[in-house]
Structure 1
Amino acid sequence: MARGDVLITPDELDGVLADVDLLDVRWRLGEPSGAGRDRYREAHLPGARFLDLETVLTRHGEPTDGRHPLPDADTLARGLGALGVDGSRPIVVYDEAGSFAASRAWWVLRWAGLDVRVLDGGIDAWTVHNRPMTTGDAIVESAELHVTPGQLPTIEADDAAGFSGTLMDARAPERYRGETEPMDPVAGHIPGAVNVPVSDFFAADGRLPEQDRLRELLGDQTAPLAAYCGSGVSAAQLVLAGAALDLEIALYPGSWSAWSNDPSRPVATGESEPA
């Protein structure tokens, strides 16, 4: 896998709009339910359908599963099928610059065996040159879709404990160090994890950084590689960046929200442990 296998530029997308299934997955942590759909209805790329991260790309179970555990195959297939996705055409997902929703969508759909790329820079990169937009809800016919989960690597809590390679914590440094925790019951990080903040994985214009920068961020980490964040959403951006370099990074879907809800799991604070 290389950069062109995981990303598509606005110019490239402009030439194939009629030949892809385009999904708008705008979502922000902590915003009111339906806010992303409202922004979609106000303005979206021509032909795009709204993909709801909270109802299609995750499920909701016990606290020890985390806030955004992976969806079951039937829920994912039905949700995508309702948007007219049948797996016969390439899929392109997009969000807003600096968001993680498109990388989560890319990860889940790749994990389910579908052909998908992310619009590099999201809707902001599309509109900067006054490309066309449209409003309202797209009307599509539902489709039958079969998915085959398990096509990308994952780890669970037992794997994260004493991980043999590099376990990367994608959260902000202050959350990693345990100085603050706005979402989960315990502050800190998984013992042995190193802090690789996801904020480093966006260029100033919201696109994925260039290859040399990605190599600086990921190239010296000891394999095997795995990543987690608060709930398995933003860490998908690290997996996407790794894929752009042909590096395999496993995702811990439960992430800190699952780990911190299990009282039996140890917690570390402070700076990264020495390599």
Structure 2
Amino acid sequence: MKRVLGLWRAGLAALLLWCAMPALAAELPPLTLADATAKQAVILDTRPSYFYQGWPMAGEKQGGHVVGAESLSAEWKYSDEEWAQALKDKGLSPDKPVALYGEPRGVAEVARLLRQQGIKQLFELQGWKEAPREHLARWQQLVYPLWLADLQAGKPVAAAPKGDWKLFEVAWGAPKAYLLSHIPGAGYIDTNSLEEEPLWNKVSDEALKKLLLDNGIRHDTTVILYGRNTMAAARAAHMMMYAGVEDVRLLDGGLDAWFVQHLRTETGLANTFKPAKDFGVTIPAHPEYYTTLEQAKTLLKQPDGALVSVRTWDEFVGNTSGYSYIKPKGDIPGAKWGRGGVDANSMSDFHNPDGTMKPAREILAMWDEWNIEPNQQAAFYCGTGWRASEAFFYAWLMDWKRISVYDGGWYEWSMDPKNPIVTGERKPQR
């Protein structure tokens, strides 16, 4: 009896704490947008990042974030080491006031976390739902799990596909992991069907066309892609856009984001689609999205050109090639460092803690350090094209006009001993 009573009291205490969480947000002093601007406060959006990027919340006519706001979702988990960089990226410091907005529990949680980091001047932003908004230029192309689940269920969704749509998981090799668990209804694309040895460059246009038609994809098919690694999905996205698919979308955060929401998965063989008879436009519809070796060399001489290395710093300066099958170390003289991740299989510099895309302002700040600007003719490259494709897709989401992927990347460049190589520490040229 005592044990039952103790459990009941513990449960009651937990319930009371849960019920009190919204009140924690109410304890923050209110601050209007005008006053926040006058105080030069950092405005912080505590909602999931897809609302920040542009998707409307339930009942909203407009999505996106309050103009000038930073994103720090209550759902993110930073390590002690990551907090320092996060505070720097978002302009947070103990001497600056911070105005938080979002759902009450999210505001309360972020306020708690910020207090632990020594940020004490905390306010709750008033009237944020009516405040002017801004958003990622192509936010519709970066979908989120609950939107996809509603689309599959036939429910009304914002930015719905205009016609036929198909979902694919993208990964390298046989669908071993896919067989054990995948998003219901998804087809499967092996990246081996998109690229070929010896350099893992794009397959021929004819082979690409056959792949698309075999999977029932026309130029006017909406294609939604996801991966266990978003780079793989981005690799497919880039090639489909090059071919001419007009509506290509990525699941932000990949399959992990689906798992986090505890949405249904299924097992078994890959879903197949009725083949399409005709793609509808001539492939490639966007040859400008693809850069060859010779074009990359020309770009290096172009005053407004930017050949952008999306590799780790250790790869960029020549401490490692990044790959077991690539022996030469170093990078391309004149290339600009566009950041990457912790290794050749990572794009963590571009991701929030949950693997979703960072706010555009943070990516732009990284690129600005190396004079990589939206008005330039920019070609992204990495070792063999995966990381570059993800950087390309993010630049496209931000509506950069003159972008491409240098498909051969470091592998192709380093294979020819006549091509110059640079190693060692270096800084951007101003």
Same fold (TM over 0.5): yes
CA–CA distance in structure 1, aligned partners of residues 257 and 189 of structure 2: 19
Give the 3 Å change call, closer, same or farther, for CA 106–95 of structure 1 in structure 2.
same
Q: CA deviation at 1:129?
A: 1.3
Give the 3 Å change call, closer, same or farther, for CA 156–84 of structure 1 in structure 2.
closer
Give the 3 Å change call, closer, same or farther, for CA 268–87 of structure 1 in structure 2.
same
Is the CA contact (8 Å cut-off) linking 1:59 and 1:72 kept in structure 2?
A: no
CA–CA distance in structure 1, aligned partners of residues 250 and 408 of structure 2: 23
Match of 1:23 in 2: 168
Matches within 5 A, 1:191-270: 191-199=333-341, 200-219=349-368, 220-222=371-373, 223-247=376-400, 248-270=402-424
Query: Residue 75 of structure 1 aligns to which amino acid in structure 2?
Result: A
CA–CA distance in structure 2, aligned partners of residues 169 and 195 of structure 1: 5
Query: Residue 397 of structure 2 aligns to which amino acid in structure 1?
Result: A
Q: CA deviation at 1:237?
A: 1.1
* C-alpha distance after superposition, 1:92-149 (max 9, x if no partner): 000025x410111110111110021111011111121111111112243333242621
Q: CA deviation at 1:12?
A: 2.0
Which SS does the other structure have where 1:198 is aligned?
coil
User: Whose strand proportion is higher, 1 or 2?
Assistant: 2
68-77 or 232-241, larger mean C-alpha shift: 68-77
Q: CA deviation at 1:84?
A: 3.0
CA–CA distance in structure 2, aligned partners of residues 117 and 73 of structure 1: 21
Query: Residue 234 of structure 1 aligns to which amino acid in structure 2?
Result: R
Which SS does the other structure have where 1:234 is aligned?
helix
Match of 2:138 in 1: 3
Higher relative contact order (CA 8 A, sep 6+): 1
Is the CA contact (8 Å cut-off) linking 2:336 and 2:372 kept in structure 1?
A: no
Give the 3 Å change call, closer, same or farther, for CA 96–195 of structure 1 in structure 2.
same
Query: Residue 203 of structure 1 aligns to which amino acid in structure 2?
Result: N
Matches within 5 A, 1:72-221: 72-97=204-229, 99-114=230-245, 115-137=247-269, 138-146=271-279, 148-151=283-286, 152-161=288-297, 162-164=300-302, 165-181=305-321, 182=323, 183-199=325-341, 200-219=349-368, 220-221=371-372
Query: Residue 290 of structure 2 aligns to which amino acid in structure 1?
Result: T
Is the CA contact (8 Å cut-off) linking 1:80 and 1:145 kept in structure 2?
A: no
Query: Residue 155 of structure 1 aligns to which amino acid in structure 2?
Result: T
219-228 or 203-212, larger mean C-alpha shift: 219-228
Q: CA deviation at 1:255?
A: 0.5
Which SS does the other structure have where 2:168 is aligned?
strand
Structure 2 stretches lacking a partner, 5+ long: 1-135, 155-163, 342-348
Which SS does the other structure have where 2:266 is aligned?
coil
| TM-score calculated relative to the size of structure 1 | 0.87
Query: Residue 314 of structure 2 aligns to which amino acid in structure 1?
Result: E
239-248 or 76-85, larger mean C-alpha shift: 76-85
Give the 3 Å change call, closer, same or farther, for CA 212–90 of structure 1 in structure 2.
same
In our comparison, the structure showing a higher alpha carbon Rg is 2
Give the 3 Å change call, closer, same or farther, for CA 157–85 of structure 1 in structure 2.
closer
Match of 2:187 in 1: 49
Is the CA contact (8 Å cut-off) linking 1:78 and 1:145 kept in structure 2?
A: no
CA–CA distance in structure 2, aligned partners of residues 101 and 267 of structure 1: 28
CA–CA distance in structure 2, aligned partners of residues 42 and 136 of structure 1: 7
Is the CA contact (8 Å cut-off) linking 2:336 and 2:428 kept in structure 1?
A: no
Query: Residue 326 of structure 2 aligns to which amino acid in structure 1?
Result: D
* C-alpha distance after superposition, 1:32-86 (max 9, x if no partner): x42xx1111111111100001112x1133xx4xxx22112222122223323334
Which SS does the other structure have where 1:92 is aligned?
strand
* C-alpha distance after superposition, 1:209-258 (max 9, x if no partner): 11221221235514222211001111111111111211132210011111
CA–CA distance in structure 1, aligned partners of residues 272 and 293 of structure 2: 41
Query: Residue 177 of structure 2 aligns to which amino acid in structure 1?
Result: R
CA–CA distance in structure 2, aligned partners of residues 49 and 11 of structure 1: 19
CA–CA distance in structure 1, aligned partners of residues 419 and 380 of structure 2: 17
User: Whose helix proportion is higher, 1 or 2?
Assistant: 2
Q: How many residues align?
A: 261
Is the CA contact (8 Å cut-off) linking 2:381 and 2:406 kept in structure 1?
A: yes
Identity across aligned pairs (percent)?
Answer: 30
CA–CA distance in structure 2, aligned partners of residues 163 and 93 of structure 1: 36
Is the CA contact (8 Å cut-off) linking 1:201 and 1:237 kept in structure 2?
A: no
CA–CA distance in structure 2, aligned partners of residues 163 and 122 of structure 1: 37
How big is the alpha-carbon RMSD for the aligned residues of Structure 1 and Structure 2?
Answer: 2.0
Give the 3 Å change call, closer, same or farther, for CA 118–257 of structure 1 in structure 2.
same
